[in-house]
Each structure stands twice: as structure tokens, then as C-alpha cells.
Amino acid sequence: MILDLSSNVAGVHFDFPVMNASGPRCTSNRELFELLNSSSGGVVTKSMTSCFRSGNDSPKYYAFGDNTFNSNGLQNLGFEAYFEILRSIFRINYTYKPIIASVAVLNEQDCFEMIDNLLKSKLVDMIEVNPSCPNIEGREILTNNFDDLDKFVRRLMQLKTNIGSLIPIGLKLPFIQIIVIFIM
């Protein structure tokens, strides 16, 4: 008997339920193609911003024993670079692995423009919106203000409706915000 570990999330089929999270090892072209060729169930990009970001000063990642600290500060190649990588992956995705683009919310207008382009391109199977990176110095986290988060989500859903896209969009929320939302 073969155990079927496949799953479906928002209509997207995953042959295997384990994949990377957006983080320190999905930033470069090489890392994303390594994930594409791995046994993971899908590939999640680094949370992208409209322009290249070098992120925080080192150390950005520290491993000790079974534990790690990650304070990358949204280091990423920028939207245009990831869009080109996604085009390359789309052309050769012989594994038919779901591709999830992670989009950071540093500037709401830039975020909506990136999502608009991704939805229209149909290069990805899902979009993860990351409004909660805590490692950006001098910046309030959108998820700490529920009224602003509510307005943001409503605007996001309106954008998706206006485009007529069926590509699922999810929010990357810190665990405590998820608990508070369920309590409310």
C-alpha cells in the first residue's frame, strides 16, 4: 500500500505537503532552482519588494544546535529579478510543482502593483502577502494595526476581483495575530 500524502490548498494540488517557507534559502536563482528540483511539494520565493534590498547588516542568519535566528531585513533581488526567475521556472517546470510568490508590504502601492503583475502574468499558482516582517528598522508592522490591516485586505480582494483572477492569495501572519483574529 502506498501512502498518499498529496493535499489541496485553495484548489492548488500539492503532491507532497512539505515545502520551504519564504526565508534565507530561497533568495537567489540557484536556490529557487534547487528547490524546484528537490522533493519538496512546492516552491516559495523570498518575500520580494519592488527594488533590490541588501537587508540588515550581518549577522543576518545564525544557527546554533537545532535553533536559528533570522534577521535578514527582507534582503531580496527585487521584483523584476524574481519576475524573470519566475518566467524561467514557468518555462521549465517539468515537475509541475506549485510555485508561490511571496510579496512583502513595505509600500502598499508597490505591493499592489507587484500583485497586479503577478495575477495578470499567471506565472504562479499562489501568492503569499507578507505584511508582517518584524526585522525592518524604523517601520511599523501593518499587522499590528487591525484597522489598517482590514483596509489593506479589502483593497487586496478588490484588486483580485477587478482582475478576475482565480489565483489564491494568502496572508503571512505572525502566530499571535492569527489567535487574536480568531478570538475577535
Q: Where are the alpha helices (DSSP H) in 13-98?
A: 29-36, 79-92
The answer to whether residue 51 is catalytic is no
Locate cell 509541475: which residue? 96
Cα–Cα distance for residue pair 11/168, rounded to 1 Å: 8
Using an 8 Å Cβ cutoff, are 173 and 133 in contact? Answer: no
Q: What is the pTM of this model?
A: 0.88
Q: Is the pLDDT of residue 10 over 90?
A: yes
Q: Is the pLDDT of residue 179 over 70?
A: no
Q: Is the pLDDT of residue 129 over 90?
A: yes
Catalytic residue among 26, 51, 111, 133: 133
| Residue extents of the structural domains in the chain | 7-183
Domain 7-183 coded CATH 3.40.50.2300:
no
Q: In which band, very low, low, confident or very high, does the pLDDT at 184 lie, cut at 50, 70 and 90?
A: low
Query: Which tops the pLDDT comparison, 78 or 132?
Result: 78
Using an 8 Å Cβ cutoff, are 165 and 124 in contact? Answer: no
pLDDT attached to residue 180: 61
Using an 8 Å Cβ cutoff, are 119 and 165 in contact? Answer: yes
